[in-house]
Amino acid sequence: MNELEECFRKGLLRKIPASEENSIKSINKAKAMLIKAKEGIEYELFDSSLVLAYSAMFHATRSLLLRDGIRERSHYCISRYLEGTYVKAKKLDLRIVLLLDRTRELRHEELYSLEFYPTKEETSEAVRNAETIIKSIAGILKSE
């Protein structure tokens, strides 16, 4: 059993009614969070901006799941879904999933580590990566 199948078996991903409306709301929320992440860097709020950049990535990728009729209960499983569905079909570059996973790990460190403080460089990179992901996902949503 592969990781994607395991996510469904454990209920970390499950089928729901597909919703174009919720998909659009999610990609729009991603774009709004990206703006806030950029603003936070200007005020040197690197921790908040990092979390917002990841949240923007999350909502962008979630927009695909909502459109496909998938509900997530695991951020890790979102990446497995993207790999098994969109990367496999050559609609999404694996690099996008790797950027999402890397930023998910940084966000985890920011939220739970007592010793991690993101730098301006790490946060700026996360924001650039969020822009890349949103642009890529928006392209998929428009083309299908």
C-alpha dist (Å) from residue 36 to 60, 66, 109, 127, 133: 15, 23, 20, 10, 16
pLDDT score recorded for residue 144: 75
Provide DSSP, 28-86: HHHHHHHHHHHHHHHTT-HHHHHHHHHHHHHHHHHHHHHHHTEEES-HHHHHHHIIIII
pLDDT at 37: 98
Which domain CATH number covers 59?
1.20.120.330
Q: How many helices (H) and strands (E) does the chain have?
A: 6, 2
What total of structural domains would you count in the chain? 1
Contact between 98 and 125 under an 8 Å Cβ cutoff? The reply is no
Q: Is the dihedral of CA 79, 83, 89, 93 positive or negative?
A: positive
Q: What is the pLDDT of residues 46-102, one digit of tens each?
A: 999 999 999 999 999 999 999 999 999 999 999 999 999 999 999 999 999 999 999
Domain that holds residue 66: 3-143
pTM greater than 0.75 (yes/no): yes
Span 112-137, pLDDT tens digits: 999 999 999 999 999 999 999 999 99
